């Protein structure tokens, strides 16, 4: 890991130099890419490096001299492992990428995409999130890097004091700073700062949930899309403190030695992070925190708070999110079902086990015939229930919300992440064009107009708590349906939950 930029270079498809964009911070020159303009690796904040900035909120980007050549993606956020599409990682990762048809008027709506990866992996430079397809439909597209894992979501407030009160939300603060940058400078790239839609998938959608809950993000965006994620990863400080305490244990540090984290080599921090995620599920170990500042109160309460204007929301999940997980089969998981659940849900594991027993009608937790029941329960309690509750809360707050469900006939084609090529208008097989057109068109329409209504999705009513409606995207296109979900009121909104006694284990 280093402080270099990515070695992934896109070359211009034209002999012409792209025009220079003049921002309030300095000049930027991108490249021509298939008759559109692209700007890679544009810094939106000062590098969060060194002991004076690690684990602290991002600092606004200072002006630069000369012309910034935005022709290479910036380094990915530090994470265990190697990204095939972006081999460079660095703490100096706070950059964004922009695609636009033109930099002149009329100004175009903006779509800012937040990548997923379990809060521990991924980058805005992933080719799967290339913004060209949306830019070709008249949007200005932004993808963004933010701090991940321990650097982005390790709550050290109990160990390092008030200055680090929001260390568990550095990743969310990075995204807020990216939105502030976009609001201030996107006009220079042909974007309308008064029409910004945020969009995220998986952990990116959970970041969207954090932004919806944070008063610091109010007014920075005007629409939100959350795919396979909502607010279920936002943690209380009992959980976040326990995670941080165990992280220190892995580094053989006493809690009063937490200050040493400010100087340890990044490789050491990443090794400890990887070990922590191996010991426990890792799925929700890292994520936003109710710290009283960035997120003031539990997320549903935050969403329900009355605001002058709440941006419209498009939210949904895939029908078989957990189809790729081998749970409850002999040898399917090295922990066994009970161990798997305790690592996936913490103190909430008994509630999930009870839901499985109701769904399967069996106490044989490793019976292969009950795999579908396992996957249905995991899908509901990790994804679908949170999406439904968030939509209901949003509707009860008087805001406009639409729900969708991605439901291909084969379960393994509607698992977690399978909707992404269709949302971005890219198909991978025959007879998929209609589905791709329906989803890509609806998402584009939402970013353009605040409503996901197109020729394919005409008559898509708003979701209301008393009249729930869901647009089902199937192999043949789209059709209106009803919300079918088994919600257990005793299950908390926070999926992964532990108390401080865990630190004594």
CA–CA separation, 226 and 208 (whole Å):
6
Nearest by Cα to 181 from 189, 273, 14 = 189
Mean pLDDT of 456-473: 88
* Burial (0-12, 13-18, 19+ Cβ within 10 Å), 66: exposed
pLDDT of residue 363: 56
Percentage of the residues of the chain whose pLDDT score is greater than 90: 70
Taking only the tens place, the pLDDT of each residue in 218-267 is: 999 999 999 999 999 999 999 999 999 999 999 999 999 999 999 999 99
* pTM of the predicted protein model: 0.93
Residue-averaged pLDDT of the chain: 89
Nearest Cα to Cα of residue 407 among 470, 474, 460:
474
The answer to which of 176-185, 190-199, 490-499 has the lowest mean pLDDT is 490-499
Residue with tokens 């008064």: 194
pLDDT at 16 over 80: no
Tell me: pLDDT of 306 over 60: no
Q: Residue 26 corresponds to which tokens in the numbers above?
A: 């300095």
Three-class SS state of 95: strand
pLDDT band per the 50, 70, 90 thresholds, residue 384: very high
Exposure of 407 by Cβ count < 10 A (0-12 exposed, 13-18 middle, 19+ buried)?
Answer: buried
The C-alpha atoms of residue 480 and residue 469 are separated, in whole angstroms, by 7
Q: Strand locations in 44-148, DSSP E?
A: 67-69, 95-100, 108-114, 140-144
Residue with tokens 């994520």: 287
Position 368 pLDDT exceeds 50: no
Residue with tokens 């492992």: 81
Rounded-to-integer distance, Cα 6 and Cα 90, Å: 10
Element (H, E) at 480: strand 477-481
Quick one: pLDDT band at residue 365, thresholds 50, 70, 90?
A: low
Strand partners, 96: 42, 144
Architecture of domain 20-237: 3-Layer(aba) Sandwich (3.40)
What average pLDDT does the segment 181-203 reach? 98
Per-residue confidence at 357, pLDDT binned at 50, 70, 90?
confident
Average pLDDT of 177-196? 98
Cα separation, 295 vs 303, whole angstroms: 10
SS3 249: helix
User: Per the omega criterion (within 30 degrees of 0), is the bond before 106 cis?
Assistant: yes
DSSP string, 315-382: EEEETTTTTT---SSTTTSTTHHHHHHHHHHBTTHHHHHHHHHHHH--S-TT-GGGHHHHHHHHHIII
Task: Enumerate the domain spans of the chain.
Answer: 20-237, 312-481
Taking Cα atoms as reference points, which of 103, 425, 449, 118 lies closest to residue 280? 118
Of residues 368 and 378, which shows the higher confidence score?
378
Q: Which residue has the higher pLDDT, 29 or 105?
A: 29
State residue 464's pLDDT score: 87
Per-residue pLDDT, 14: 47
C-beta neighbour count of 271 within 10 angstroms: 14
Residue 365: half-sphere exposure toward Cβ, Cα within 13 Å = 17
Q: Which tokens go with 210?
A: 């954090």
**Neighbouring C-beta atoms of residue 256, cutoff 10 Å:** 8
pLDDT in tens, 131-168: 999 999 999 999 999 999 999 999 999 999 999 999 99
| pLDDT score at 505 | 42
């Amino acid at each position: 890991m280093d402080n270099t930029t990515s070695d992934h270079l896109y070359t211009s498809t034209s002999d012409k130099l792209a025009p220079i964009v003049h921002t309030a911070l300095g000049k930027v020159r991108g490249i021509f890419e298939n008759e559109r303009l692209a700007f890679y690796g544009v810094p939106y904040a000062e590098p969060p490096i060194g002991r004076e900035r690690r684990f602290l909120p991002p600092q606004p980007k200072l002006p630069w001299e000369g012309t910034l050549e935005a022709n290479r993606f910036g380094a990915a956020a530090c994470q265990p492992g190697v990204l095939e599409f972006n081999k460079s990682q660095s703490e100096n990762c706070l950059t964004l990428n922009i695609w636009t048809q033109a930099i002149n008027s009329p100004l175009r709506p903006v779509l800012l995409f937040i990548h997923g990866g379990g809060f521990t992996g991924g980058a805005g430079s992933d080719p799967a999130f290339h913004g060209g397809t949306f830019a070709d439909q008249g949007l200005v597209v932004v993808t963004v890097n933010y701090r991940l894992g321990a650097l982005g979501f390790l709550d050290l407030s109990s160990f390092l004091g008030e200055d680090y009160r929001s260390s568990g939300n550095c990743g969310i603060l990075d995204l807020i700073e990216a939105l502030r940058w976009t609001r201030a400078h996107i006009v220079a790239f042909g974007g309308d700062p008064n029409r910004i839609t945020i969009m995220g998938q998986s952990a990116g959608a959970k970041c969207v949930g954090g932004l919806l809950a944070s008063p610091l993000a109010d007014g920075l965006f005007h629409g939100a899309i959350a795919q396979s994620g909502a607010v279920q990863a936002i943690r209380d400080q009992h959980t976040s403190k326990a995670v941080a305490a165990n992280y220190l244990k892995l580094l053989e540090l006493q809690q009063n030695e937490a200050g040493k984290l400010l100087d340890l080599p990044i490789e050491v921090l990443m090794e400890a992070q990887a070990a922590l995620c191996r010991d426990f599920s890792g799925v929700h170990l890292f994520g936003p925190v109710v710290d009283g500042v960035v997120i003031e109160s539990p997320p549903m309460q935050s969403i329900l708070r009355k605001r002058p204007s709440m941006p419209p929301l498009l939210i949904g999940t895939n029908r078989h999110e957990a189809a790729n997980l081998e749970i409850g089969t002999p040898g399917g998981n090295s922990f066994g079902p009970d161990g798997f659940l305790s690592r996936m849900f913490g103190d909430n594991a008994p509630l999930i086990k009870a839901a499985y027993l109701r769904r399967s009608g069996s106490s044989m937790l490793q019976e292969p015939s009950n795999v579908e029941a396992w996957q249905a329960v995991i899908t509901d309690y990790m994804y679908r229930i949170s999406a439904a509750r968030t939509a209901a809360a949003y509707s009860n707050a008087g805001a406009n919300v639409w729900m969708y469900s991605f439901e291909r006939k084969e379960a393994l084609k509607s698992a977690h992440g399978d909707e992404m090529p269709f949302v971005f208008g890219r198909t991978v097989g025959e007879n998929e064009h209609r589905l791709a057109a329906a989803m890509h068109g609806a998402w584009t329409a939402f970013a353009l107009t605040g409503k996901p209504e197109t020729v394919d999705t005409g008559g898509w009513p708003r979701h209301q708590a008393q009249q729930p409606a869901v647009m089902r995207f199937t192999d043949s296109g789209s059709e209106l349906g009803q919300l079918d979900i088994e919600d257990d009121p005793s299950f908390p909104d926070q999926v992964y939950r532990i108390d401080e006694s865990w630190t004594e284990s």
